[in-house]
Amino acid sequence: MLLRLLRDHLGRHRGWLVAIVVLQLTSTLVMLYLPSLNADIIDRGVTRGDTDYIISRGALMLGFSVLQAACAITAAWYAARTAMAFGRDLRASVFRRTLAFSGREVATIGAPSLVTRSTNDVQQVQMMALMTCTMAVQIPIMMIGGILMAMREDLGLSWLLVFVVPALLATVGFIVSRMVPSFRLVQVRLDEVNRILREQITGIRVVRAFVREPAETERFASANDGLTDVSLRAGRWMATMFPAVMLVINVSSVAVIWFGGHRVDDGSMQVGALTAFLSYLMQIMMSIMMGMFLLMQVPRSAVCADRIAEVLDTDSSVVPPERGVDRLDGGVLELDHVGFTYPGAAEPVLRDVSLTARPGQTVAVIGSTGAGKSTLVSLVPRLYDATSGSVRIGGVDVREVTPEALWSRIGLVPQKAFLFTGTIRSNLLHGRADATDEELWHALEVAQARDFVEAMPEGLDSPVVQGGTNVSGGQRQRLAIARALVRRPAVYLFDDAFSALDLATDARLRAALAPETRDATVLVVAQRISTIRDADLIVVLEDGAVVGRGTHEELLAGNPTYQEIVTSQLSAEEAA
């Protein structure tokens, strides 16, 4: 998966990659030549006292050193740009794929895990891309070239390489093989910490209300300690690598000096050649150490690449049609024998649900908790797809309509009103980007939100924090309703969108909505009888099945389930 991600996303920057390869190749070849040049200066200049030769060859060596440094710096600059562009493209790919997910995929992978994969995991793979760009060319050339150049300097001493190189490779390979499972577990534990942290921050009011701070602190501490333990285990192996590698390098250097000194003493080898051989040994070791750094990053990056690839390879259960209808006429909403079952569930959430809502008509859905009301609403904009039956708008199955055409006809106010970071204006413009200020204020007035928005110092430009937590629950709901009104859709979906409003505000809002939605189809899910009693049609759900339909009066007269709901909320006089 790691190779695949690098191939697919780094391949888009071939021009930069070619420049990196050329520069790294030049830098490495020059680096390999410098020890031989230095040996030549020692053997033919220093030992003979030839100052002119030392100066001329030294100037040449200095020029090559400047060239090598310039190539290395330029290659690193191009590598950094390429790696950053790679990370940008990969994050964009994960984000686009996540946006295409239905609620099923988001629930399966988990929101905290998706955040981790889009940030930490991408960063790890991006680091791997950077190291690949800077080292992939240099390591093999320096290692193979160093061995050949060392043999060229003195073949009789080269037998040491037969022991040194395999020993170093075996040491590094053993330690890296122990690091892989630890790095894989680190990412799992990191997901767990993010999940708990997200829950605790989001539910801080509940934690405080039930005095659960000690228990939540203990739960987070347990997850945090688990992450720490696994990270320490991986860190210990990582820390072991450096001393082990340095031990092999130091022993090798001592061996070269010892055996090389004897060869110099008996005249089989010159001092300059011994110096060059030692330099080439250091270059070989350096290339192996660079490979070690690369190998240290590979296990963690490989784990992260697997997790990223899981997101990229997950197909949404809500698939856009290949040649879908790109225009819908009319706003007749039909549910025809609809059923829905969540993945892995033993029983369906919805069973054989049928209803029709026409423009100018308000259809309400009511039922006990868990009856399937919100699931039913989610099927209309294709947040989920029905597992049986069909959902149609304007006579066309929603599965045959392009997402843009479908969503442009729908104004959804979800059960949990969510506002985005920005301003009230930017949130309302989610409904329609070209809406005027006059239209925004009108939508706020209908949604009974104009008063509190006008009272804010900056009006429409008042800031909204993530999730809209700087306004009350009722204000969030009214702003979400205003956002749907700005769109002017053919079908309004209110999923328990009035639950946070007091009865007086609820009544004013419904009265103001009536003329605004006169030509639109309105589907309302509600818990309160007062919210839906004036609907043209009320559908009663119980255990996912329709157990009654009619007006408030008709159901009150002959439907036991509806009567039970009514009597649980209203007195006999209010019900009448």
Sequence-distant (≥ 6) Cβ neighbours of residue 479 within 8 angstroms: 417, 419, 424, 427, 428, 444, 447, 449, 468, 471
CA dihedral 248, 251, 254, 258 (to 10 degrees): -120
pLDDT of amino acid 391 = 92
Q: Which long-range contacts (CB under 8 A, 24 or more apart) does 567-571 make?
A: 569/528, 569/529, 569/530, 570/529, 570/530
Element (H, E) at 70: helix 51-100
- DSSP-H helix ranges across 436-472: 437-446, 450-455
Q: What is the DSSP string of 412-428?
A: EE-SS----SEEHHHHH
Measured CA to CA, the distance from residue 125 to residue 122 in angstroms comes to: 5
**Of 355, 367, 399, whose CA–CA distance to 522 is shortest?**
355
In the chain, where are the structural domains located?
2-313, 333-575
Q: Does domain 333-575 have CATH number 3.40.1190.10?
A: no
How is residue 522 written in tokens? 């309105």
Sequence-distant (≥ 6) Cβ neighbours of residue 71 within 8 angstroms: 23, 24, 26, 27, 30
Q: 320 exposed, middle or buried (CB, 10 Å; 0-12, 13-18, 19+)?
A: middle
271-313 vs 138-153: helix axis angle to the nearest 10?
Answer: 160
Measured CA to CA, the distance from residue 458 to residue 463 in angstroms comes to: 8
Measured CA to CA, the distance from residue 546 to residue 561 in angstroms comes to: 11
Residue 54 has a CB neighbour count (10 Å cut-off) of: 17
Going residue by residue through the chain, which has 576 residues, state the pLDDT in tens, using 9 for 90 and above. 677 777 777 777 788 888 888 998 898 889 888 888 888 888 777 877 778 888 888 899 899 999 999 999 999 898 888 888 888 888 998 998 888 887 778 878 887 788 888 888 888 888 888 888 888 778 888 888 888 888 888 787 878 888 888 888 788 778 877 877 787 788 778 878 888 887 887 788 788 888 888 888 898 999 899 889 988 988 888 788 778 888 888 888 888 888 888 888 787 778 888 888 888 888 888 887 787 777 777 777 888 888 888 888 888 877 888 787 877 877 889 999 999 988 777 888 999 999 999 998 999 999 888 888 888 998 998 888 888 999 999 888 989 988 888 888 899 998 888 888 899 999 999 988 899 999 999 999 999 999 999 999 888 999 998 778 788 888 999 999 999 999 999 999 998 888 888 888 888 988 998 898 888 999 999 888 888 888 999 999 998 899 999 999 999 888 898 888 888 876 544 554
Identify the residue whose tokens are 């949130």: 427
Three-class DSSP labels, 281-325? HHHHHHHHHHHHHHHHHHHHHHHHHHHHHHHHHCCCCCCCCCCCE
Q: 343 exposed, middle or buried (CB, 10 Å; 0-12, 13-18, 19+)?
A: exposed
Identify the residue whose tokens are 């009888």: 529
Which residues make beta-bridge pairs with 228? none
Q: How far is CA 349 from CA 266, 346, 527, 540, 541, in A?
A: 91, 10, 18, 14, 11
Q: Is 250 helix (H, G, I), strand (E, B) or coil?
A: helix
Contact status, residue 510 vs residue 364, Cβ threshold 8 Å: no
CATH number of 2-313: 1.20.1560.10
pLDDT of amino acid 482 = 93
Q: How far is CA 45 from CA 27, 53, 58, 261, in A?
A: 26, 6, 10, 20
Residue 334 has a CB neighbour count (10 Å cut-off) of: 18
How is residue 305 written in tokens? 């690449």
Helices (H) and strands (E) in the chain, counts: 22, 12
Please give the model's pTM, rounded to 2 decimal places.
0.69
pLDDT of amino acid 342 = 83
